[in-house]
Amino acid sequence: MTDLTLAPNMAAPDRSYADLIAAHEGLTKEQSDALNARLILILMNHVGDESVIRAAIDAARLE
Amino acid sequence: MGKSFHTPLYPYARHPDQDASAPVRHPVIVIGAGPVGLACAIDLAQRGVPVVVLDDNDKVSEGSRAICFSKRTLEICDRLGLGDPLVDKGVVWNTGKVFFGDRKVYDFNLLPEEGHKRPAFINLQQYYLEQGLVARLMALSAEGAEVSIRGRNRVTSVTSHADHVALSVETPEGAYPLEADWLIACDGASSPTRTMMNLEFDGRVFEDNFLIADVTMQADFPTERWFWFDPPFNRGQSALLHKQPDGVWRIDLQLGRGIDKAEEKRPENVIPRLKAMLGPDVPFELEWVSIYTFQCRRMERFRHGRVVFAGDSAHQVSPFGARGANSGIQDADNLCWKLAMVLDGAAPETLIDSYEAERGFAADENIWHSTRSTDFITPKSETSRIFRDAVLDLSERHAFARPLVNSGRLSVVSSYAGIALTGPDEGGPVAGQPGRVCPDAPLTSGPLLDRLFSGFTLLTIDADAPDQVTDGALSAARLALSVSDDPTGALAERLLGDAPSAVYLIRPDQHIAARFAVFDDAKVRAALRQATGQEAA
Ligand SMILES: Cc1cc2nc3c(=O)[nH]c(=O)nc-3n(C[C@H](O)[C@H](O)[C@H](O)COP(=O)(O)OP(=O)(O)OC[C@H]3O[C@@H](n4cnc5c(N)ncnc54)[C@H](O)[C@@H]3O)c2cc1C
């Protein structure tokens, strides 16, 4: 079982962040929400591991 | 078709018990001649236990109600002696289609595993199941079994004592008292027994209304399960189309919250909805219409002294996943051999507590699945709907999203692994793990499940063992199998694996109690005691 990576891990953080923002350009709030939801599901599937997904959800809660 | 649910099958007839000077005591009384009560009565009668069924009605249930019966239900019905007529009448289906908005997003095939006598599911109106059960019960009675149904016998009071239960029964000719050593309350979701005993029934109530319509039409829709999310003919809601025998189709339309039920049920409101769905040119006739909301809830305890609850009286789920009737039949399957052993003095009364542990676990599993399906079909928040729609959009292009689509996870049987009766596991294939139902396999001599005994079976594969193992009042009879009886290799694949031999102890309900590499008298006897609640793990 792998642990959730919370240390810097993106190869090109600025570019990937810019890609994310660009993907939302010109979208309505509704379209953006739908895109985000699809993106989260795709990334969840890529991660796969149940405990890593759960740890990511916990980390996102900022508790 | 003849509306079979209008014909009295067990009309009221005066019984000598009504004229007795003192209340007559029966070993087992079952309240309710629904699928679960009838299954209990047949199972007990086949085990030689006298049983009386009391029902406030005299016919099978009104309307088709449950229509989807699982492989396990059919296997249990085989054991109860009515599997063949059900499967002959039922509609077998394997393909499902999922629609989102105005497009089909994907289809699936249940792809049932080869080498099982029974299909994954059949569709059949609940009244046909009940008719089959009533016919079987009457055949047993004609053969001399002490089993009967008393129609229009409504139970109006239940008083639980330490070693029996006292009942009052209302009939068209007045009231009479009865007593039972054991009472099985199969009186449905609104169980009067539960109310009379002041017992709680807690859980979640869902607010969405659903319209169920059974229509007769000669349409060339294929024999498939079609499920729509947000279809053009029912915007923002869901819809289901499923085939039954006799050219009858089940249509299930979500109507949403806060509707006027009586108004929506009127044919002049139902028919335009169906026309919008089926198209203007498909002629159809309404056979049965019902509007309902549903609950996911259970009793905390299924056993209260000598009163045992089974089926909808004990637990209730949403219809998505066909878990209502199917899980109730499994309750009967679990309870009856235990009760028969307790009544025979072969097992302690505490064996009945294992019914509650095993079927309570199954109820929790069913409620969990059914709640997840309901939340997917009727999202409870904006965010939940956004994710639901994202899953559906992705499912059209990417296989990974399809397992997330949840229009009902169809009923599968629970394993009792880790619960007190389940004994040791010396290893082997996953399909044969103790706690699970023994998997079927096509042997040279016929389907494996048909060869299991009504009591405990000691199934040996290429292993030496005596023909009978006994421990006090307990016994298991040997079923000696060999890989040479296994033309397809299914037996070896499911129960043997790479081992040269295997020994399984199988319960009367066909769940595996324990498995061993070779026969060991002391170990098998200990497992037999454990499986009957006489020895801790
Ligand atoms: C409208 C509707 C639609 C449904 N659709 C589906 C579906 O699509 N799929 C699915 O899986 N399930 C469905 N169900 C649920 C399914 O029908 C039940 O899970 C199943 O019938 C439960 O069987 P049971 O024997 O526990 O109870 P029931 O079938 O409810 O039987 C209870 C029996 O007890 C009798 N009784 C009650 N009180 C007394 C009394 N005081 N004295 C004597 N007798 C009494 C009643 O007359 C009845 O015969 C539906 C139910 C309803 C109501």
Chain B, nearest residue to A41 by Cα: B391
The CATH code for residues B430-531 is: 3.40.30.120
Assign B111 to helix, strand or coil. Answer: coil
CA distance B431 to B489: 14
Chain B, nearest residue to A29 by Cα: B386
* A13 CA: distance to closest CA in chain B (Å): 26
Residues B283-316 pLDDT 10s: 999 999 999 888 999 999 999 999 999 999 999 9
Residues B193-232 pLDDT 10s: 999 999 999 999 889 999 999 999 987 788 899 999 999 9
**B401/A34 CB distance under 8 A:** no
**A41/B389 CB distance under 8 A:** no
Nearest CA to ligand 1 atom 1: B65
pLDDT at B528: 97
Judging contacts by C-beta atoms under 8 Å, the chain B residues touching residue A40 are: 387, 390
**A37/B386 CB distance under 8 A:** yes
**B391/A41 CB distance under 8 A:** yes
Per the CB < 8 A criterion, the answer to whether B320 and B374 are in contact is yes
Q: Indicate if the pLDDT at residue B2 is higher than 50.
A: no
Domain ranges of chain A: 27-62
Cβ count within 10 A of residue B334: 23
Rounded to two decimals, what is the model's pTM?
A: 0.95
CA distance B4 to B60: 8
Residues B329-387 pLDDT 10s: 999 999 999 999 999 999 999 999 999 999 999 999 999 999 999 999 999 999 999 99
- Whether B54 lines ligand 1, by a CB cut-off of 6 Å, is yes
Domain ranges of chain B: 16-88+114-200+297-365, 430-531
Could you identify the atom of ligand 1 that is nearest to the CA of residue B189? Answer: 30
pLDDT at B3: 58
Residues B134-179 pLDDT 10s: 999 999 999 999 999 999 999 999 999 999 999 999 999 999 999 9
CATH class of B16-88+114-200+297-365: alpha beta
Letter string b/e over residues B446-478, b meaning 16 or more CB atoms within 10 A of that residue's CB: ebbbeebeebbbbbbbbbebeeebebeebebbb
Mean pLDDT of A8-14: 98
**B394/A33 CB distance under 8 A:** no
CB neighbour class for B506 (10 Å; exposed up to 12, middle 13-18, buried from 19): buried
Instruction: Tell me which of B67, B68, B126, B294 to substitute to probe ligand 1's pocket, judged by most ligand atoms within 8 Å of the beta carbon.
Output: B126
Chain B, nearest residue to A33 by Cα: B386
Would residue B428 be called left, alpha or beta, if left means φ above 0 and alpha means ψ between -120 and 50 degrees?
left
CA distance B479 to A52: 47
CA distance B127 to B5: 7
Does the interface ipTM go beyond 0.90? yes
Residue carrying the six token digits 């079994």: B145
